[in-house]
């Protein structure tokens, strides 16, 4: 069954909906791309052609990720609180605590040189209030899950309308949680509320691929024009571009899944949490090495290579961890479950 009780689309890969993983694969690569490109450009002191790709994706990169994260929530939202909190809060909290500690272990010497070791301790403590670095997504998701369950008896369209207002206001308090909550909750809740329609949209794109391709071309042209004009973050327009871009990624994922093209994207989407947690290390190492030893390369090429290294390197780290017995890096140990652990086939991301 889909999130809202309709029959699951027939295009499956094991117990997973294929186009969802293709879409998630596109999203996670775009996220790594943003950090890779901006990091290379900051280190080099100027921009590259990849900067325009990052800017093109900005209106929809995170909206799509959050919308997809809400798609399957209706399947589990009525579970008892103990089970729900285990799957939707403790699960992500475990990985956040673990990986923020790992990131600090690598970055502590440079932080200490600037802030002193007392400053490092303070910054580490602050990371549990204001999420650190690249890890803010899995910090925010549990908050979205809890808020949605707490408000599930409220009129859904009222919640959606209330969520749309702060998205358009682009709140800037300087604190990650309130700013990103206001900017992203609308899309997460829309994925939860309109899951049935999202699956229907995917089915329509699969049934009419030529029309879907025409729509994608028109969307790309309009999105690029508005980004170039500098108005893509205008109130209301940013919301519309976020939804349009999410639809575009869903349609693209559907068409790729139908043809089984670029199956590596599906694999990346299936392991998006792995990439998200671990890409920072191969990204930082490859950036440093390429800027130092390959300055003859175009900066955009360096940024693209760093992007690839971040994605592939994270998957290599994951594979080595699985083979080397360090499964705790990517799988929550039994000791950190507060509800019975149930191993059963399920749609993603029921975890």
Contact present, 274 and 349 (Cβ < 8 Å): no
- DSSP SS3 for 119: helix
Q: What is the pLDDT of residues 161-210, one digit of tens each?
A: 999 999 988 888 989 999 999 999 999 999 999 999 999 999 999 999 99
CB 3, CB 71: distance < 8 Å: yes
Is residue 18 within 8 A of residue 12, CB to CB? The reply is yes
- Quick: pLDDT tens for 320-346: 999 999 999 999 999 999 998 866 434
105-137: per-residue pLDDT in tens? 999 999 999 989 999 999 999 999 999 888 999
User: Average pLDDT of 225-237?
Assistant: 95
What single-letter DSSP state applies at residue 169?
H
Closest by CA to 34, choosing from 311, 290, 238, is 311
Q: Where along the chain do its domains lie?
A: 12-78+136-321
- Note whether 99 and 277 are within 8 A (CB): yes
Contact predicate 26/267, CB 8 Å: no
pLDDT of residue 343: 61
Q: Note the pLDDT tens digit of each residue in 15-50.
A: 789 999 999 999 999 999 999 999 999 999 999 999
Q: Judge contact between 253 and 23, C-beta under 8 A.
A: yes
Determine the pLDDT at residue 5: 43
HSE at residue 307, side-chain half, CA atoms within 13 A, is 23
Residues in the chain: 351
The verdict on pTM exceeding 0.75 is yes
Q: Give the three-class secondary structure for 343.
A: coil
In degrees and rounded to multiples of 5, residue 129 shows phi and psi of: -110, -45
**Alpha-helix residue ranges (DSSP H) falling in the chain:** 18-44, 50-57, 61-69, 73-76, 81-85, 91-115, 117-126, 136-150, 156-169, 176-193, 195-207, 209-228, 237-259, 263-270, 272-278, 280-293, 299-323
| CB neighbourhood size of 104 (10 A) | 17
Give the separation between CA 57 and CA 63, rounded to whole angstroms. Answer: 10
pLDDT at residue 260, rounded to an integer: 87
Report yes or no: 5 and 244 within 8 Å, Cβ to Cβ.
no
Q: Spell out the residues 6+ positions from residue 121 whose beta carbon is closer than 8 angstroms to its own.
A: none
As a whole number of angstroms, the distance between CA 223 and CA 205 comes to 19
**In this structure, are residues 237 and 60 in contact, taking their beta carbons and an 8 Å threshold?**
no
Q: Following DSSP, what letter does each residue of 234-262 receive, concatenated?
A: STTHHHHHHHHHHHHHHHHHHHHHHHT-S
Give dist(CA 74, CA 191) in Å, integer: 10
Q: Name residues whose C-beta falls within 8 Å of residue 209's C-beta, 6 or more positions apart in sequence.
A: 255, 258
Task: Provide the pLDDT for residue 4.
Answer: 41
Output the six-digit token pair for 184: 């992203």
User: CA-CA distance, 19 to 16, in Å (whole number)?
Assistant: 9
Confidence of residue 14 (pLDDT cuts 50, 70, 90): low
Tokens standing for 344? 């059963």
**CA nearest 128: which of 167, 93, 88, 89?**
93
């Amino acid at each position: 069954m889909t999130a809202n009780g309709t029959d699951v689309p027939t295009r499956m890969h094991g117990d997973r909906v294929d186009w969802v993983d293709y879409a998630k694969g596109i999203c996670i690569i775009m996220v790594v791309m943003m950090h890779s490109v901006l990091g290379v450009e900051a280190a080099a002191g100027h921009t590259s052609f990849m900067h325009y790709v990052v800017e093109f994706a900005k209106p929809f990169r995170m909206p799509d990720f959050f919308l997809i994260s809400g798609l399957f929530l209706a399947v589990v939202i009525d579970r008892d609180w103990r089970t729900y909190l285990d799957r939707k809060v403790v699960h992500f909290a475990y990985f956040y605590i673990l990986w923020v500690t790992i990131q600090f272990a690598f970055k502590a010497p440079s932080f200490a040189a600037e802030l002193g070791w007392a400053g490092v301790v303070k910054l580490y403590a602050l990371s549990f209030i204001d999420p650190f670095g690249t890890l803010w997504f899995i910090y925010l998701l549990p908050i979205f899950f809890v808020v949605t369950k707490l408000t599930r008896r409220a009129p859904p369209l009222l919640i959606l309308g209330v969520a749309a207002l702060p998205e358009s206001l682009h709140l800037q308090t300087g604190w990650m949680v309130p700013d990103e909550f206001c900017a992203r909750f609308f899309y997460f809740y829309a994925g939860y509320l309109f899951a049935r329609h999202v699956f229907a949209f995917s089915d329509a794109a699969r049934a009419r691929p030529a029309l879907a391709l025409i729509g994608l071309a028109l969307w790309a042209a309009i999105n690029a024009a508005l980004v170039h004009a500098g108005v893509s973050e205008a109130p209301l327009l940013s919301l519309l571009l976020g939804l349009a871009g999410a639809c575009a990624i869903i349609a693209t994922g559907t068409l790729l899944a139908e043809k089984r093209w670029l199956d590596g994207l599906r694999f990346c989407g299936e392991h998006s949490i792995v990439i998200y947690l671990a890409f920072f290390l191969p990204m930082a190492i490859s950036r440093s090495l390429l800027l130092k030893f390959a300055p003859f390369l175009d900066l955009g090429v360096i940024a693209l290579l760093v992007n690839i290294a971040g994605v592939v390197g994270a998957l290599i780290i994951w594979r080595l961890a699985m083979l080397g017995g360090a499964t705790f890096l990517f799988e929550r140990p039994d000791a950190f479950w507060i509800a019975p652990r149930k191993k059963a086939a399920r749609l993603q991301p029921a975890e």
